[in-house]
Structure 1
Amino acid sequence: MARRPRERKARGASVVGARFEVTVGPVAHGGHCVARVAEAGNRVVFVRHALPGEQVVVEVTEGTEGDGFWRGDAVEVRTPSPDRVPAPCPYAGPELCGGCDFQHVALPAQRDLKAAVVREQLVRLGGLAEDDPLVAGLVVEAVDGDQEGLRWRTRMRYVGLPGGAQGLHVHRSSEVVEIDDCRIAHPRALEVVEGVRDDGPTAPVVEQVAAQGTEREFAVDADGFWQVHPGAPGVLVGTVLELLGPRPGEAVLDLYAGVGVFAAFLADRVGERGRVVAVEGDLAACGHARGNLVGLPQARVAQGSVDRVLRESYDEPFDLVVLDPPREGARRKVVEQVVDRAPRAVAYVACDPAALARDVATFADLGYRLSALRAFDLFPMTHHVECVALLTKTGVDLR
């Protein structure tokens, strides 16, 4: 199957298809490793399907002679890593499904690679020292709910193919690979097939979350945002509650609140004398949040972008803040608004370590330090990792 890379401005003759033998270097953010092509002046090539320390033949999949770096696939492994294993999925590999990055890596080693990426981002972008205990001691923790890294994805989006078949995209390509069984899909995953006739909106689904001895139900659109690993909501809520230690009577901001999962559990902890404001931009999610928070008069929902809502309202002090931003992170405008409320602690839930690191640096500029950090393997077989960071005002003792 011929790959059609995403178009970019050509800077010389194409080198796509060229093969080179390389020694694979460290893992990098994005599901690949860094290598250098000696024959091309030590040109950097980001290699998928490889492991640090391996000798591989890399085939260039994107790049021209004038590019600063190339992309490629390891198409032959001359010296394998001890952490290399046969991929459990027949659709994993060069020119095949692009959904998983680490099918060729033993599960414990996958978590080590992810931890290395988080550490590197916190040092390079976050300004932390390599020997900082939170950096040096970071591990990516396994979470209950998958089967040895498989059968965890509870929401799937396929591409419809002729004859009723379905497929998934090749990495960074419009090409589609027909799939009869995605190995990371949960047996009861909610499925959407693009290109198939839509009969209109589907009924919301009800999800259960259990954390710290409390269980709650939440309505969410079938195609709305929800953590896809079965163990994710419970472990994230439990970690946020443990790190923040909410107290009766406190005021809490829950930003990028979705359907109100954190808000509900926080409202339980601060009690009727407390206050929780959940801010969410998506109109449908806000509607569900209001329903999910019924019976908690201390909680309310504000609809609108986080930046706008904080700029225009709720400018009084808050004791605690939960930040659960999209992949690009909260960014400086929102961080400044958070700090302006002078919370004693901020819990930051991050799906992208680079965005987390940039925001950690911004918080540090504004007087908040990283005081706790945990990472969870909520996306086995892929390069993705979820972190929960605690940021506290410099000099504040939370004990």
Structure 2
Amino acid sequence: MTSHSNSSPTEHSEGQGINGTEIVVDVGPIAHGGHFVARHEGRVIFVRHAIPGEKVRVRLTDSGDSSRFWRADVVEVLEASPDRVAHFWKLADSLGSWKRGGPPVGGAELGHISLQRQRALKADVLAEQLKRLAGLDLATEVEAVGDNHDGGLGWRTRASFAVTTKGRLGMHAHRSDVVVPVKEMPLAVQGINELRLWDLDLSGIARVEVAVPSNGSRPLVLLAPEEGTSPKRLHSILAQLPHDISVASFDPSKGEVLQLRGRTWVQETAAGHEYRVTGEGFWQIHKDAPNTLVGAVTDFLSGGGYLQPGAAVADLYAGAGLFTAPLADAVGVTGSVLSVEGAPGTSRDARKNLHGEPQVEIVQGRVERVLHQRARSFDSVVLDPPRAGAGKAVVKQLMATGPRAIAYVSCDPASFARDLGYFHQGGWRLESLRAFDLYPNTHHLETVGLIVPAA
């Protein structure tokens, strides 16, 4: 598949980098973060929207003589990979977007690659991070999740949008302040697209967050007003939205959520439990992710005999209680589950979601502080930290509490591999690992690892 650029770029042979300059490069391996590595006159260029083995023309988007590396987007494919496919979303297609004079929207950066090759590339990234940061030689298949005939579309139950200067729904280009107006979101579940938020005049709003639970319960639209937006303006937007959805305003800097209509939360379902999740509170994005991850965690812990009636378990970075509830089921009333979550609103949700479980203790606070204050041992631990990972201090504290096993859920292979390296240094080992393609057509993946003492 070859596309032809309409532009007449200036090519620089002396190695100076000017944003907008176009050069021809051969594409090397994928790197963590959704980029592909190319070289030009000795300098590394991180290229988006390419495939290893291709020869492409790229447009420099972030360059300069003092930069250690440059960034670029593909604008023309000169020699295509057999795994290249037509992008499913016009606005995220780099080739067409730059022809029309601007960058593509972010969030679907692998949409030009067949799903099978996407998963192989994600497996390459995971293997490279494990080798480099944890010293492990390990190849792991990235498993498809849900309906394998959906083209990797229609899975997002949550979406975040920007707003253009003209008050229209939009999305940011990658690493850019440019907001591109959107009129569809192919990765989102049907319920998000059916809201038709792009038909609204959103003047006075800085950001829009949408949650449409896959169980069919009431959707929630969150509006983040710009400073000085009047209540009257908010209510005029409210009047444009369907009456059967909840609407709230929120202040991201303060974490405040204010009811405008209906509820300030959504009702989610997973593993036979109902969960209330307020505002921007964390919940897995893929419609099939909650059950997939709960299944992987409980299979690892139960299969190894680490999760039994009467056991003492900790759920760290517990969120609204996705893992806490099935852990409580497994240990029963004779066991105990300690749930630790840093975000006050999310911890309040966990308290509501688990109020009928006497064996569960919910503590709001930083994980390292709570572990320091409560020097106690656990039979097993579930660790589901944010993208930055748990970090050296938490890993050391966990090993000191002496659990028999830790199920580590990660959305970032680099921080997971780094933390795994800390566990290895402390005499622990990776017993089992599964990887899931919970973010098709993007570079993200989710892993669940079982980590045990080596002795």
Scaled by the length of structure 2, what TM-score is found?
A: 0.79
Cα shift at 1:203: 2.4
CA distance in 1, matches of 2:147, 2:280: 21
CA distance in 2, matches of 1:128, 1:162: 49
- After TM superposition, the structure 1 stretch with the greater mean CA deviation from structure 2, 329-338 or 63-72, is 63-72
Q: Which residue of 2 aligns with 1:342?
A: 402
- Select the residue among 167, 170, 177 that pairs with 1:167: 170
Cα shift at 1:383: 0.4
Q: Which residue of 1 aligns with 2:12?
A: none
Contact 1:54 1:79 in 2 (8 A): yes
- Select the residue among 102, 126, 131 that pairs with 1:118: 126
Q: What aligned pairs does 1:1-399 form with structure 2 within 5 A after superposition?
A: 14-37=17-40, 40=41, 42-94=42-94, 95-129=103-137, 135-136=138-139, 138-144=140-146, 147-161=150-164, 164-189=167-192, 190=211, 191-192=221-222, 194-195=224-225, 197=234, 199=249, 200-201=258-259, 202-210=263-271, 215-245=272-302, 246-313=307-374, 315-395=375-455
SS in 1 for 2:91: coil
Which amino acid in structure 1 is aligned with residue 289 of structure 2? A
Contiguous gaps of at least 5 residues in structure 2: 1-14, 95-102, 193-210, 212-220, 227-233, 235-247, 250-257
Q: Which residue of 2 aligns with 1:132?
A: none
Which amino acid in structure 2 is aligned with residue 20 of structure 1? I
Deviations 1:74-124 (A, max 9, x none): 111001001000000011133110121101011111111111100000000
SS in 2 for 1:17: coil
CA distance in 2, matches of 1:164, 1:193: 13
Contact 1:145 1:231 in 2 (8 A): no
Cα shift at 1:295: 2.1
SS in 1 for 2:90: coil
Root mean square deviation of aligned Cα: 1.6
> Could you say if the C-alpha distance between residues 163 and 71 of structure 1 is closer, same or farther in structure 2, counting changes exceeding 3 Å?
closer
Contact 1:307 1:334 in 2 (8 A): yes
The alignment covers a number of residue pairs equal to 370
Contiguous gaps of at least 5 residues in structure 1: 1-11, 130-134
Which amino acid in structure 2 is aligned with residue 140 of structure 1? V
Deviations 1:335-361 (A, max 9, x none): 011111100000000000000000000
Identical residues among aligned pairs (%): 47
Cα shift at 1:15: 2.2
Cα shift at 1:365: 0.8
Cα shift at 1:185: 1.3
Q: Which residue of 1 aligns with 2:99?
A: none
CA distance in 2, matches of 1:83, 1:36: 22
Scaled by the length of structure 1, what TM-score is found?
A: 0.90
CA distance in 2, matches of 1:166, 1:240: 38
Contact 1:145 1:230 in 2 (8 A): no
Deviations 1:200-236 (A, max 9, x none): 24422110102xxxx1111111421110101000010
Q: Which residue of 2 aligns with 1:7?
A: none
Contact 1:363 1:369 in 2 (8 A): yes
Contact 1:49 1:102 in 2 (8 A): yes
